[in-house]
Amino acid sequence: MFASEPDVELGPFSSPAAQATPWASALAVIGEAEVFWLSTVRPDGRPHVTPLLAFWSLGGMCFTTGGEERKARNLEENRHCVLTTGTNALTGVDVVIEGLASVVEEQSEREQAVADFERKYGAHLTSPEGTWHGLGEAVVAGDVRLYRVAPTVGFAFGKLPTASQTRYTWASR
């Protein structure tokens, strides 16, 4: 049920000497990034974008939110969303993951995701002085929603000195 390795293809807007960014490299960018941007669609069709913490777990991108927040209400109406991260510079790699968001209901999956979440963000979540201390326990208990975005397509945009556009596609499930 979880995403497998994607197919990888170098896009047509790449520099002549460019090579596709391996999926492992895109996962490394995801693993090192602290801030992501979630794009959803409001019920009236207007876009909504918000920064948040996100991490790769359960074969997809995961994030948390309260059930009454705008992003949760948007996802109730339209599960399609996009998560982006990268550098605010002309160098490095930006990563985009498109997919369908679902609330993670299974206790064992929430526990696994929280372990991955805490491993990535460390003391921010686990230390009593951490900004989001206690969030992991709230997710495991089901008091805070945990979403998993099942990826359908993704992109890695390599920037200077060699521009590349890599497309990742996952087989339909």
> 61-100 pLDDT, tens per residue?
999 999 999 999 999 999 999 999 999 999 999 999 999 9
pLDDT at position 171 is: 84
The owner of tokens 């074969």 is: 59
pLDDT at position 6 is: 97
* CB crowding 48-65: b at 16 or more within 10 Å, else e: eeeeebbbbbbebbbbbb
pLDDT at position 173 is: 46
Q: Specify whether the CB–CB gap between 97 and 149 falls below 8 A.
A: yes
Rounded CA separation 128/85 (Å): 28
Q: Tell me which H or E stretch contains 138.
A: helix 135-141
pLDDT at position 1 is: 55
Rounded CA separation 135/64 (Å): 9
pLDDT at position 2 is: 74
At 42, the amino acid letter reads: R
Low-confidence ranges of the chain (pLDDT < 50): 173
Q: Pick from 62, 70, 155, 157: which is nearest to 117 by CA?
A: 62
- What are residue 55's DSSP bridge partners? 62
CB-based contacts of 93: which residues, under 8 Å, 6+ apart? 21, 25, 26, 29, 86, 87, 156, 157, 158, 159
